[in-house]
Structure 1
Amino acid sequence: MFSDNVFFSADIGFTSFSQSHLGAVIVFVLFAVIFVNAAQRLDDRQNLLLTRLTSVFISLTVIVWTSIHIVYGRFDPAVNLPLSICNLFALVAPLLFWQPNRRCFEIVYFFVLSGTLQAIITPDPDGGYPSYGFFKYWIVHCGLVVVVVHHLIAFKLYPKPQGILRTFVWLNIYILCLIPINLWLDANYFYMMNKPINPSLLDFLGPWPLYIVATEGLAMVFFALAYLPIFIARKNNPKMDTIDT
């Protein structure tokens, strides 16, 4: 019975900085190196094909994860809807990365490199190794970072500083949309109602609702840090090209 298989189990716990956590990070670094190398060696057509295939794979990972919960009667709309930023971006990844578009990409860039990298360091997966929830979590979060870095290098989609403010506006639109959903479903998407169970940066930002306000300021700091490599690169090479499509 598949339902008895540990791969489909929803009861396997996860421990931060365990062997499975560190192993996932090592695999992530290896794939990042491979994709960066590919971005530099392949032509535009080949890089676009690689981006499309990877984004479809990431999207299917979320779809299969949701389907497993539905098939085994575990689907709870208060928990399992793909409404977190990472799951939402993963679900629509083929739309986001199908064609190089700087304006769209810079929003994704700031969200992914600020939020998803934090999720890799202080993860809160849907299960421990070797459950599908574990693999889904790491494929989504690491996959998004890898695709963003590859897209940036392959197509020279360098974000502009104004993108930080645009991303901040979209972040607040996203939050405003989540408030009624969380209240209606008694949910905790984007950790707006409670902090995650596993240790995270939110533990240092005070109790609810103060940590939500503090997160707004912290988001701007992370967006600025995400822009820092681009700022340094522009200082060293003022002629960096940008694609405005």
Structure 2
Amino acid sequence: MDPSWAQETFTPYGLSHWVLLGVAAVGAVLLVLAGHRHRGTRSGVLFARAFALLLGLFAVAMQVYRVLPSQWDIAVSLPLHLSDLTWIVAVYALWTRRQWAYSLTYYWGLTLNPQAMITPALDAPGFPHVDFVDFWTQHILVVWAAIYLTWGLGLRPDWRSLATALLVTVAWGVVVFGFNLVTGANYGFLNAKPNNPSLLDVMGPWPWYLAVELAVGVAAWALITWPWTRSAGRSARRGTPVR
């Protein structure tokens, strides 16, 4: 039997929200420390692949649950949100450390996922409801993956990485926008704003907020790319490797 408090709708900035943000922060620090110890070792490869399996198996299990006949709804059950693509590329990046997959994990995982965690579009009961567990576990694990790959294992983005993320994001937006028009869904909040308060509320009405969102996103991505390219340039001039 679920406790009565678990039936209450999740409240942004309530106790559970702050606890989860704290867990995310503490876990990130621990993963950075673990990554430093693992960097360049066989144990690092094994840890990253175990992390990939954990994230992948959890996300696939949740996806199977979403498409069960009792849960099926074309407007919400398909893995068409950008966060769905993010966990897929994060799993691949953890397993292979391919630069393109890492790039998408870095930009999506460190901007879109934190924004979703700070202003969650979650109209569901609290823990242990499956929607609550799915949302928070998946979003936190992806943020951890991006942090572990970057500050733990030492992968780095560059301007080509940003271009890759931008092209893939725009392509996703065009395809999903068309799907939303045909089905009446609203994946990615491309066709309407979410009901809960979010940063989109200050970006103007539809469709203008889409252009503002893209511009703000690219600016944010540039800001989190520039320090790495700047440090890489300094290291190259000094003849020392970037770590």
TM-score strictly above 0.5? yes
Per-residue deviation, residues 200-242 of structure 1 (Å, max 9, x unmatched): 1100001111111111111111212322442464366444448
Deviation at 1:12, TM superposition (A): 5.0
Partner residue in 2 for 1:223 = 221
Q: Percent identity?
A: 25
Mark the CA change 1:202 to 1:108 in structure 2 (over 3 Å): closer, same or farther: same
Q: How many residues align?
A: 237
Alpha-carbon distance between aligned partners in 1 of 2:163 and 2:186, rounded to the nearest angstrom: 26
Mark the CA change 1:216 to 1:71 in structure 2 (over 3 Å): closer, same or farther: closer
Partner residue in 1 for 2:71 = 74
Partner residue in 2 for 1:152 = 150
Gaps of 5+ in 2: none
2:9 paired with 1:13 = yes
1:87-236 maps to which residues of 2 (within 5 A)? 87-91=84-88, 93-125=90-122, 127-130=124-127, 131-231=129-229, 233-234=231-232
Alpha-carbon distance between aligned partners in 1 of 2:36 and 2:241, rounded to the nearest angstrom: 15
Across the aligned residues of Structure 1 and Structure 2, the Cα RMSD in angstroms comes to 2.5
Letter in 2 for 1:125: L
Deviation at 1:162, TM superposition (A): 2.7
Partner residue in 2 for 1:34 = 30
SS in 2 for 1:35: helix
SS in 2 for 1:15: coil
Mark the CA change 1:70 to 1:158 in structure 2 (over 3 Å): closer, same or farther: closer
Alpha-carbon distance between aligned partners in 2 of 1:115 and 1:192, rounded to the nearest angstrom: 14
Alpha-carbon distance between aligned partners in 1 of 2:155 and 2:192, rounded to the nearest angstrom: 36
Kept in 1, the 8 Å contact 2:32–2:148? The answer is yes
Partner residue in 1 for 2:80 = 83
Kept in 1, the 8 Å contact 2:36–2:153? The answer is no
SS in 1 for 2:232: helix
Alpha-carbon distance between aligned partners in 2 of 1:162 and 1:41, rounded to the nearest angstrom: 29
Kept in 2, the 8 Å contact 1:100–1:155? The answer is no
2:18 counterpart (22, 27, 35) = 22
Kept in 1, the 8 Å contact 2:86–2:104? The answer is no
Alpha-carbon distance between aligned partners in 2 of 1:167 and 1:221, rounded to the nearest angstrom: 13
Gaps of 5+ in 1: none
Per-residue deviation, residues 41-81 of structure 1 (Å, max 9, x unmatched): 12532122222222222222222223334447122121121
SS in 1 for 2:70: coil
SS in 2 for 1:98: helix
Kept in 1, the 8 Å contact 2:193–2:200? The answer is yes
Alpha-carbon distance between aligned partners in 2 of 1:241 and 1:202, rounded to the nearest angstrom: 37
TM-score normalised to the size of structure 2? Answer: 0.86
Deviation at 1:172, TM superposition (A): 0.6
Mark the CA change 1:240 to 1:58 in structure 2 (over 3 Å): closer, same or farther: same
Kept in 2, the 8 Å contact 1:47–1:154? The answer is no
SS in 1 for 2:92: helix
Partner residue in 2 for 1:53 = 50
Mark the CA change 1:29 to 1:135 in structure 2 (over 3 Å): closer, same or farther: same
TM-score normalised to the size of structure 1? Answer: 0.86
Deviation larger for 94-103 or 23-32: 94-103
Alpha-carbon distance between aligned partners in 2 of 1:61 and 1:169, rounded to the nearest angstrom: 28
